Amino acid sequence: MPDESYPDDLRYHPEHDWARVEGEEAVLGITWYAQDSLGELVHFEAPEVGMTVSKDGPYAEVESVKAVSDVIAPLSGEVLEVNEKAVDEPEAINADPYGDGWLVRIRLSDAAEADGLLDAEAYRAQVAEQ
């Protein structure tokens, strides 16, 4: 397991999801805190490519041995790509939540939504209170 970290270049949703905005697109995943709380992940129920995800709504599930958890979309858009590595080896989400363990890439429907997300400092403060 990696050490706890929340990279400065990401935006965060309070439900422990992150987004890396890249122009009209964004890469989404779950935070270090989320994967640590869930424990060793053994299943990633990915959305279909082409599906629309809505900010604050569930778009996928991750499961540990003991429990299942919805993954909440930090931003809205259309799924362009699913990380097949996270499907085949869900432990990659634990090992590298911001790198190899990313979940989906979306085309943003409203780039301005990102302004409503937390920056790393604000998210770190939220996690520190939990």
Partner 1 sequence: MDATLRRTPLYERHVAAGARLVPFAGWEMPVQYEGVIPEHLAVRSDAGAFDVSHMGQLHVDGPASGPFLQSMLSNDLERIGDGEAQYTLLTNEDGGIVDDLIVYRMSAGQFLLVVNAGNRRTVYDWLKEPEARGTEVRDASDEYALVAVQGPRSLERLGLAEAPAFTHGMGEVGGIEVMVCRTGYTGETGVELLCPGDEAAALWDAVRERGVKPCGLGARDTLRLEVCYPLHGQDLTSETDAISAGLGWACGLETEFTGAEALRRLKADGPERKLVAFVMEERAIPRHGMTIEGGGEVTSGTHSPSLDVGIGMGYVPAARAVPETELVVDVRGRSRLARIVKKPIYKKEP
Residues that bind partner 1 (CB under 8 A): 39-40, 42-43, 45, 61, 63-66, 68, 87
Q: Which is nearer to partner 1, 71 or 117 (CB)?
A: 71
Min dist CB 65 to partner 1, Å, is: 4
CB of 37 to partner 1, least distance (A): 10
Nearer to partner 1, 40 or 81 (CB): 40
As a whole number of angstroms, the distance between CA 120 and CA 58 comes to: 22
> CA distances (Å), 108 to each of 49, 79, 84, 112, 116, in order?
14, 9, 21, 9, 14
Report, in Å, the least distance between residue 62 CB and partner 1.
11
Buried (b) or exposed (e) across 51-60, using 16+ Cβ within 10 A?
eebebeeebb
Residue 115 CA to residue 130 CA, distance in Å, equals 24
CB of 43 to partner 1, least distance (A): 5
Nearer to partner 1 among residue 43 and residue 121 (C-beta): 43
Secondary element (H or E) of residue 30: strand 25-30
- Alpha carbon 100 to chain centroid distance? 12
72 or 118: whose CB is closer to partner 1? Answer: 72
